[in-house]
């Protein structure tokens, strides 16, 4: 039985790598890794960390300005690959152009689609854009919906997905972060952290934070640095020039503000483990940081990961400087306030999501007799998510 795993961004690589490994340990299952190149060297860096050599690399022009022509080209390329490779199922992750294109091309080729991290919803098609649209569009054409949380499973059912097609698995990022944390890497930037300094880790890349959002975050960062002599800010700058240019202009050559190149995943996890506080608009960071007891201030107005907010380990603050400062100052001034958020309780999984996903797919394909047809789905035989 052959599964095509489609990955293009670094988060997709991180979250699908444990699934790839679980397939390798499952007799009778073969997983091919198809790289779309969406994040280029960042994704390749993550593949190297997990020992993944792509079976196929696509070459779409990711520098296109228009998302529609890029998506169309990617669907075309993936459709041609499926016709040649003839997988029994296709697995996509999350809400990227890669995930949507991989799912749509499989649907048009009459191949069952499995969706890892299915069911995340912000409730607003504009936030985040285009991710909210992509994940909602995958839902009607998917046949295997691997929900990371009970809330995600409820969201799928509210969208009309049958309960029998949903499997509650946990989030595969917890599988990955547990594996990588054990490597205990130490990036060079940590050598510049003095004894007694508290690290604020910042990541920023979302489209909705371009321009005014970046400016607001930079103002807040500089203010927190000025107010707290024992704070050092570490900010790996995203490669997108709409983010990189303004950050470098605003914060370049500032003391105790480390503007560094994007870190390899193990090194990023090492910094995350050492952080006192994280400011981020990343979805993955909201899921990973609770494993290390690090509070997260989410630089967005809406999040599809409400579980972290409800658990009290993350807080929505947006990208306005005043709101960021109002939330960050108490955490830096009061150890009690920090301790309330710094609880080692991760609502996103137990590190066994990948095994559950592989078992579910193996059951489906074995029941179907290895036919490339979504018409004969036996998913009602799977254990499903209770909400």
Residue tagged active-site, from 150, 198, 207, 222: 207
Asked about 39 being catalytic, the answer comes back as no
DSSP letter for 110, please: T
Asked about 95 being catalytic, the answer comes back as yes
CA distance 77 to 220: 43
Q: Is the peptide bond before 99 cis (omega within 30 degrees of 0)?
A: no
Cβ contact 46:176 at 8 Å:
no
CA distance 10 to 14: 6
Asked about 359 being catalytic, the answer comes back as no
CA distance 37 to 53: 13
- Nearest Cα to Cα of residue 235 among 243, 333, 329, 208: 243
Asked about 238 being catalytic, the answer comes back as yes
Residue tagged active-site, from 77, 88, 131, 355: 131
CA distance 137 to 130: 11
| Other beta carbons within 10 Å of 346 | 25
**Which stretches does DSSP call E strand in 52-180?**
56-57, 89-93, 113-116, 144-147, 166-168
CA distance 260 to 108: 42
238 — alpha (psi -120 to 50), left (phi > 0) or beta?
Answer: beta
Residue tagged active-site, from 117, 267, 304, 307: 117
Residue tagged active-site, from 12, 77, 88, 95: 95
Cβ contact 98:20 at 8 Å:
no
Q: Could you give phi then psi for residue 259, rounded to 5 degrees? A: -90, 115
Burial label for 250, CB within 10 Å (0-12, 13-18, 19+), is middle
Residue tagged active-site, from 127, 198, 222, 238: 238
CA 325 to chain centre: 26
Residue tagged active-site, from 135, 205, 232, 338: 205
- Which 3 state secondary structure label does DSSP give 70? helix
List all residues 6 or more positions away from 154 whose beta carbon is below 8 Å from its beta carbon.
119, 387
**Which stretches does DSSP call E strand in 69-184?**
89-93, 113-116, 144-147, 166-168
Active-site amino acid positions: 95, 117, 131, 205, 207, 238
């Amino acid at each position: 039985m052959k599964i095509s795993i489609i990955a293009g961004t670094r988060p997709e690589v991180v979250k699908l790598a444990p699934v790839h490994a679980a397939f390798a340990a499952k007799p009778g299952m073969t997983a091919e890794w198809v790289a779309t190149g969406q994040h280029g060297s960042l994704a390749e860096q993550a593949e190297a960390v997990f020992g993944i050599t792509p079976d196929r690399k696509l070459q779409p022009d990711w520098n296109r300005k228009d998302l529609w022509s890029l998506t169309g080209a990617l669907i075309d390329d993936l459709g041609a690959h499926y016709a040649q490779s003839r997988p029994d199922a296709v697995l996509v992750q999350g809400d990227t152009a890669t995930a949507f294109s991989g799912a749509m091309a499989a649907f048009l080729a009459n191949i069952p689609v499995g969706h890892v991290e299915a069911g995340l919803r912000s409730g607003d098609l504009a936030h985040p854009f285009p991710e909210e649209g992509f994940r909602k569009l995958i839902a009607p054409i998917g046949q295997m919906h691997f929900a990371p949380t009970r809330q995600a499973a409820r969201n799928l059912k509210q969208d009309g997905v049958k309960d029998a097609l949903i499997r509650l698995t946990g989030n595969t990022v917890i599988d990955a972060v547990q594996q990588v944390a054990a490597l205990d890497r130490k990036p060079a930037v940590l050598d510049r952290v003095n004894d007694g300094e508290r690290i604020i880790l910042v990541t920023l890349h979302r489209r909705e934070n371009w321009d005014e959002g970046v400016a607001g975050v930079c103002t807040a960062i500089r203010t927190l640095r000025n107010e707290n002599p024992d704070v050092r800010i570490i900010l790996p700058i995203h490669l997108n020039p709409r983010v990189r240019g303004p950050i470098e202009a605003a914060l370049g050559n500032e003391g105790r503000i480390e503007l560094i190149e994007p870190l390899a995943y193990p090194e990023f996890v090492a910094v995350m483990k050492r952080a006192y506080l994280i400011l981020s608009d990343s979805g993955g960071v909201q899921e990973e940081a609770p494993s290390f007891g690090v509070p997260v201030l989410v630089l967005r107005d809406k999040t599809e990961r409400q579980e972290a907010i409800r658990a009290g380990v993350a807080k929505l603050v947006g990208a306005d400087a005043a709101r960021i400062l109002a939330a960050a100052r108490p955490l830096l001034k009061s150890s009690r306030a920090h301790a309330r958020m710094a609880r080692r309780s991760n609502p996103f999984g137990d590190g066994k999501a990948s095994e559950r996903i592989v078992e579910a797919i193996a059951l489906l394909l074995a029941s179907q007799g290895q036919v490339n047809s979504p018409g004969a789905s036996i998913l009602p035989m799977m254990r499903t998510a209770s909400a």
